[in-house]
Structure 1
Amino acid sequence: MKRQANILMLGGAKRVSLARLLIEAGKRMGIEVNIFSSEIIKEVPIACVGTVVEGMRWSDPGIYDNLSATIRRHDIGIVLPFVDGAIEICSRLKEMHPEVFIPVSPYEVAHAMFDKVVAAELFERNGFAIPATYRKESCHFPAILKPREGSASKGIKIANNAEDLGTIPDIDNYLIQEYISNRDEYTVDCYVSTVSNRVLCAVPRLRISTSGGEVDRTITRRIPELIGCATMILEKLGLEGPVTIQFIHDKARDRYLLMEINPRLGGGVICSINAGAAIPEMILAEWLGREAAVCDDWRDNALMARYFSEVMFYEDENR
């Protein structure tokens, strides 16, 4: 009899390509994958491949009751976060529902990654190479200021001198670091086994261009130094499941610096999966309680270029 995996996506409104890859991986493994997504509004693109269920904002006091009811009602077997606000929710949900496979890192780690100042302090304590971090009283210029709890490059400011710095309100709500203008940006798409804690894959890719903070053109790059850095970070911090690690390459000094860690699947992971990183299969295998295989035979220089696609909703139809 064919196994059935009901997957609940949190914040997965636009993750149609990834949903399709999960469904296709299920077919190869003899598993019927059904996609559900918790959303505040029903008319979102994921509706073209799955079922949209009524959700709440991550800050709503009733969020856990709402998600628990969804898990019971739809016999959910896997829960995956796709936005930063859903990561901590999943960490708590994992404790509440041990019968559900929720491949996320422990709450303490997930919580630290959501505050850039706390995360930078954690990285420094662990000896990870990061851009020089400044206090407002001893800042060197140029400097880049990132909102402590920001995401998708929103609210980032550049200060070229003390006068610029003085114009920024609520400066304590920013992480201040050295600004490296001559750089390349890399993402490493990773998966850490929840069964054995082994790093099953780490695929670097160059971020060529972005739109709205999300990559729209990216290419895989087999860079042993980056793979080694990512693996060391994953093991040292005890991260689990899918993890997205952001680095910059300081071209003037030829050094790779850790920028941030998102303990979830990133939007550009589609590139790594299509290059051969079997992350959907890893998720499904671990849901079955199996040890997933290490994947290192992904294709180098695999380029992904994105485009817009539309989903229509009509008044006289359910979808």
Structure 2
Amino acid sequence: MPLIVIACDMRPERSAACQIADAWHAVPRCDAPDYVDTLLAIVKEFRIDLVVPTIDPELFALAARRDEFAALGARVHVSAPEVVSVARDKHLTAAVLAAGGIPVPLTRQLGDADPRLCFPMMMKPSGGSASRGLQVIHRAADIPRKTAEPMVLQQLLNGPEFTTNIFVDQQGVLRSAVTHRRLSVRAGEVEKGRTDRDPRFWNLAEAIVAALPGARGVLCFQTIDDEDAGLCVFEINARFGGGYPLAHEAGAPFTQWLLEELCEIPCTAHDDWRGAVTMLRYDAAVFQG
């Protein structure tokens, strides 16, 4: 039976991904009360086997109701709700990882007095993504008294930045950890990157999976190799990262491994991927009419 991909978007007629999918459906915003119910109806109607969320704001709603999808015969590619909760809160991320012995930058909620704060600091939304709302704070007097959303202050790290894409099987075992150096970034997504085989990243991946026992499937974490603090983990994404195509090209086809698990055939997941593979991205056009 051929693989059929059905894409969803608020405005699918304006979505490039929807145009190249086999079919598409319009859905409400992911924070709308009927969003998950709409997806459940699509899953039921078309007998969909696998639901793959791609943006952070939809993860918790899907994780909380994944049993309803399972009752329809569909697996939602999402970790346990408690893992999503950690990944969506940068202050909680730092606290949970630090408790697991993982190096993280000093992170404090805005307004928390801490004599260890050493400016400049990075201010960022606690639940932000795609580099939204980042601001460097140079002195305590520059900290705003009110913000539109919860914010954190985080130790400003200086050094090369890396993303590690990991695959965790359904038994919770880390099977692959593919790291790339982020050579160039645009709007929070890697534009140019190169895979880097460094055992330190596998060690970090193992520690993160141990600290988040509900992690399943594909996740990624970001690190900076600071010139003073060393390698620090500052973010986790409980989903496919934007740089996943580089891991796939380097020999780690996470998508294939997910389908193998779904079809209940032996999973061929491994960590034998190629280092020094470089990705140079460019914009492409999808034409209609």
Q: Same fold (TM over 0.5)?
A: yes
Residue 290 (structure 1) shift: 3.0
Alignment of 1:93-172 (within 5 A): 93-98=65-70, 99-134=73-108, 136=111, 137-138=113-114, 139-165=117-143, 167=144, 169-170=146-147
Q: Secondary structure at the match of 2:267?
A: coil
1:40 partner amino acid:
M
Question: Which segment is superposed worse, 133-142 or 114-123?
Answer: 133-142
Q: Secondary structure at the match of 1:257?
A: strand
Report what 2:249 is aligned to.
274
Match status 1:207 vs 2:185: no
Report what 1:35 is aligned to.
5
Residue 103 (structure 1) shift: 2.7
Report what 1:69 is aligned to.
41
Question: Which segment is superposed worse, 35-44 or 113-122?
Answer: 113-122
Report what 2:61 is aligned to.
89
Residue 34 (structure 1) shift: 1.1
Residue 188 (structure 1) shift: 0.4
Q: Is the 8 A contact 1:145 1:176 kept in 2?
A: yes
Q: Secondary structure at the match of 2:52?
A: strand
Residue 41 (structure 1) shift: 0.1
2:262 partner amino acid:
W
Q: Distance in 1 between matches of 2:227 and 2:45?
A: 52
Residue 122 (structure 1) shift: 1.9
Q: Distance in 2 between matches of 1:250 and 1:50?
A: 45
Report what 1:245 is aligned to.
221
Q: Secondary structure at the match of 1:38?
A: strand
Unmatched tracts of structure 1, length 5 or more: 4-31, 315-319
Offset from partner CA, 1:272-295 (integer Å, 9 cap, x none): 100000212101101112341231
Q: Distance in 2 between matches of 1:49 and 1:71?
A: 16
Residue 233 (structure 1) shift: 0.7
Residue 171 (structure 1) shift: 8.8
Report what 2:161 is aligned to.
185
CA 1:150–1:231 in 2, change beyond 3 Å: closer, same or farther? same
**TM-score normalized by the length of structure 1:** 0.83
2:165 partner amino acid:
D
Q: Distance in 2 between matches of 1:291 and 1:109?
A: 26
Question: CA RMSD, aligned part only?
Answer: 1.7
Report what 1:218 is aligned to.
193
Q: Is the 8 A contact 2:168 2:218 kept in 1?
A: yes
Match status 1:59 vs 2:24: no
Residue 127 (structure 1) shift: 2.5
CA 1:281–1:172 in 2, change beyond 3 Å: closer, same or farther? closer
1:162 partner amino acid:
A
Q: Distance in 2 between matches of 1:50 and 1:223?
A: 39
Q: Is the 8 A contact 1:58 1:85 kept in 2?
A: yes
Q: Distance in 2 between matches of 1:133 and 1:221?
A: 27
Unmatched tracts of structure 2, length 5 or more: none
Q: Secondary structure at the match of 2:76?
A: coil
1:188 partner amino acid:
T
2:9 partner amino acid:
E
Residue 168 (structure 1) shift: 5.8
Report what 2:279 is aligned to.
304
